[in-house]
Copies of this chain bind each other. A is one copy, B any other.
Amino acid sequence: MSTETPPSKRERTLAALVEHGLDMFERQGYEQTTVAQIARAAGVTEMTFFRYFPAKEHLVLDDPYDPILTAAIAAEPRESPPFLRAARGIRSAWRALPEPETPIIRRKVRIAAGTPSLRGAVWRSTGNTEQAVVEQLVADGATPEVARVAAASVLAALVAGLFSWAESERGTLADAIERALDVIEVAS
């Protein structure tokens, strides 16, 4: 029926690790869950876990959105100040995006939002995106200092919106992000 090929062994153990990992994080907390426990629950060795994820936190953190964001920022008119260009670019990027498979994303974000050490990790992992945004703004004429502040501030708003969305049971991701950007774009 479905056109999907049967999952390879690699895909199956990956899915098992994610499934058991998120499950145990939700039940007993991130810090209280050991990598060895997750591996054991997935029928695999601790070593194997680290072959799939470079660190424990990566079971919760992806981040595939860099190219879309930077492209959208590049499309903004250069007359606006960098801060507004970044905010509006992100806004229009998300508007154009299909709503992603939210169930698992919501679980991950909720775990991250509720775990102090992961909140830090989220910020660090946003570093790549931030760097991309900075480069785009600089390419469009902003100074590096200004670009760094603009990028950091806008992305912080985005992350805060993400966290709020995950904690509230309802609403779409796109709406939450729009509302977050509304808070910041007080100039029109």
Residues of the B chain whose Cβ atoms lie less than 8 Å from the Cβ of A186: 81, 83-84, 187
Binds B, one of A11-19, A90-98, A149-157: A149-157
Bound-complex Cα distance A98 to B112 (A): 37
Cβ-neighbour of A183 out of B116, B119, B146, B156 (below 8 A): B146
Residues of the B chain whose Cβ atoms lie less than 8 Å from the Cβ of A183: 81-83, 146, 149-150, 153
How many residues on A have C-beta within 8 angstroms of the other chain's C-beta atoms? 37
Cβ-neighbour of A179 out of B119, B145, B157, B160 (below 8 A): B145
How many chain copies?
2
Q: A29-67: which have CB < 8 Å to B?
A: none
Bound-complex Cα distance A164 to B155 (A): 17
Flag if A149 contacts B83 (CB, 8 Å). Answer: no
Bound-complex Cα distance A83 to B120 (A): 22
Contacts from A to B (Cβ < 8 Å): 81-84, 116-117, 119-121, 123-125, 127, 145-146, 148-157, 159-161, 163-164, 179-180, 183-184, 186-188
